[in-house]
Amino acid sequence: MTGTGSRPPGADGHDEFQDCRGTLPMEHILSIENVAETFGISRWLLRYCEFRGLIKRRNRIGATWAYSWADCDRIAFLIKCRRAGLQFGEIAAVLRAADDDSARVHEAGQELCKALSGKLEARRKAIDEALSELGHTHSLLCAKLGGDCTAER
């Protein structure tokens, strides 16, 4: 959902469904249930992100509060960062810097992004080393069993 794909007409603003209220089937509305299911996360996590001010359902379609496509892009970013091991506080600081209009805040955000990138690069290096060691150990174990285990990896 980040950056590509077709979006419905008018999906670039906060009130994206203004012209088609009442005509969209429920499964096409970016409701909390549909977004949670699409991303494979819980509604509680989305509500927590709302509570932290990271996302906000700004649109109403009938009685249903809906997310915008921009919120879905942000949710995808949040999920990727969390899966990489970043904390909500770290992610929130980056998002606040991106949302702010101050050059000083942007500079601080850039520094934070560099620091977090360095943290993730160090983690990637450690993971690569561990994978290499596990592959080597797997090969040793296969040799001890006297078989060819290359197809199992």
Asked, for residue 88, whether it belongs to a domain, the answer is no
**Domain residue limits at 101:** 93-153
Of 30, 52, 83, the domain-final residue:
83
Task: Give yes or no for residue 16 having a pLDDT over 70.
Answer: no
Of 83, 109, 133, the domain-final residue:
83
pLDDT band, residue 13 (cuts 50/70/90):
very low
Q: How many domains does one find in the chain?
A: 2
Q: Are residues 32 and 79 in the same domain?
A: yes
Asked, for residue 140, whether it belongs to a domain, the answer is yes
Task: Give yes or no for residue 65 having a pLDDT over 60.
Answer: yes
Q: Are residues 8 and 66 in the same domain?
A: yes
14: CATH: 1.10.1660.10
Instruction: Classify 134 as helix, strand or coil.
Output: helix
What gap in Å lies between CA 118 and CA 123, rounded to an integer?
A: 9
Average pLDDT, the chain: 82
Q: Are residues 75 and 97 in the same domain?
A: no
Instruction: Classify 146 as helix, strand or coil.
Output: coil
Q: Are residues 57 and 113 in the same domain?
A: no
Q: Are residues 118 and 144 in the same domain?
A: yes
- pLDDT the model gives residue 143: 87
Give the lowest-confidence range in 7-11, 35-39, 79-83. Answer: 7-11
Q: Are residues 142 and 70 in the same domain?
A: no
Q: Are residues 21 and 70 in the same domain?
A: yes
Q: Are residues 63 and 115 in the same domain?
A: no
CB 42 within 8 A of CB 33: no
Average pLDDT over residues 63-89: 92
Of 56, 83, 110, the domain-final residue:
83
- pLDDT the model gives residue 5: 47
pLDDT band, residue 150 (cuts 50/70/90):
low
Instruction: Find, among 2, 67, 9, the residue nearest to 36 by Cα.
Output: 67
- pLDDT the model gives residue 145: 85
Q: Are residues 56 and 98 in the same domain?
A: no
Q: Are residues 102 and 62 in the same domain?
A: no
Asked, for residue 53, whether it belongs to a domain, the answer is yes
Instruction: Find, among 128, 123, 150, the residue nearest to 139 by Cα.
Output: 150
| Amino acid identity, position 110 | Q
Torsion of CA 60, 34, 7, 66, to 10 degrees: 10
